[in-house]
Amino acid sequence: MKVLILLISFLFTLPSYAQSVEGAKALYEFGQTEEALEMLNGLIEAKNTEAMIVMGQLHFNDDFSHHNKSKGCDWFLKAAEAGNPEGYTQLGVCFAGGEGRKKDTSEAIKLLEIGHSKGGKLHKDILGYLYSKEERFEEALPLIQPYARAGNPIAMDHLGDMYRLGKAVVKDAKIACDWYEKSALKKFERSMHKYGNCLYFGKGREENVFEGKLYYVKAAELGYTESQAFIKMFNEKGEPHLQEALKLYKDKNYTEAFSKFIHLAKIGNKKAMFYTGIFLKDGLGRTANGKAACAWFKYSYEFGHKPAKPYLDECL
């Protein structure tokens, strides 16, 4: 702590830090929030637009005591009105994400373009996504492609959309699914759902209903509402058939029950996967197969059926 205090004291003997934006940033980083605010306010009174930008950015920090995204955007507006191009850019980001301002893609694009025209940084990634949303694909493509190739999951998702729709590129379902798959591997839930579509419907990929549903499950677990709706629909449609299989199981008609369970399991019913594992583990109506049973317990658990976990643990 003594070393830290000495370092802060030393920094503020330097002309570049005394009453400067960099000095205010340093104070904030060292936990001296009120002192940082006092310095920023002094700079703002002197019409320092960079200080306005920093003040706005501070209001977006979750650990900032005065955290308020709306006020943060207000500071970006003040900086823009005072002639700082970055003020337009940051305000555009507010509108793009719907944080501190009502989400408005058109307004976001306008502000980002104004900021760039006035000499501000061109946020190619954000502007590319916004152009894509507005179906300005010819403008979006050159901005998005480099980010997609560099491994940005959102850019990959947008590029996949362009290939799927044939916008600014030649329509190609396989290439679209290639991009969705790459994005899905980075846990981007929207692409996970779309890659699930590739597999489930067999467009751009060989049809694989089971694997497609597994991607829907993974996206649903991450909160993607469209996937959650799909899973709910699948479960509701399969429930009558599952009940038939359970009745056969209860009546010890194992051969017919297993036939129904494995059919449902192969199209993604998590409970049917579990019972398929039980039948294979215990050799009900067929020869026992521990390895295959464990595989079905694993799938059942991955699809979200928690009762499969103890059985899976026995397999390990």
Domain annotation for the chain: domains and CATH numbers = 2-129 (1.25.40.10), 130-223 (1.25.40.10), 234-315 (1.25.40.10)
Q: Provide the pLDDT confidence category of residue 17 given band limits of 50, 70 and 90.
A: very low
Q: State percent of the chain over pLDDT 70.
A: 94
Q: How far apart (Å, rounded) are the C-alpha atoms in residues 70 and 134?
A: 25
Q: Is the pLDDT of residue 251 over 80?
A: yes
Q: Which of 21-35, 98-112, 170-184 has the lowest mean pLDDT?
A: 21-35
Q: Is the pLDDT of residue 141 over 60?
A: yes
Q: Provide the pLDDT confidence category of residue 23 given band limits of 50, 70 and 90.
A: confident
Residue 302, token pair as written in the block:
């991955």
Answer for the pair 273, 252: CB distance below 8 angstroms, yes or no: no
Mean pLDDT of the chain: 90
194-202: long-range pairs with CB below 8 Å, 24+: 194/157, 194/160, 194/164, 196/227, 196/230, 198/173
Nearest to 132 by CA among 121, 123, 142: 142
Residues 212-230 have pLDDT tens digits of 999 999 999 999 999 999 9
Distances (CA, A) of 297 to 145, 220, 255, 300, 303: 41, 20, 20, 5, 10
The whole-model pTM stands at 0.76
Task: Summarize the confidence of residues 161-190 as an average pLDDT.
Answer: 97
Find tokens 């996967």 and name the residue: 273
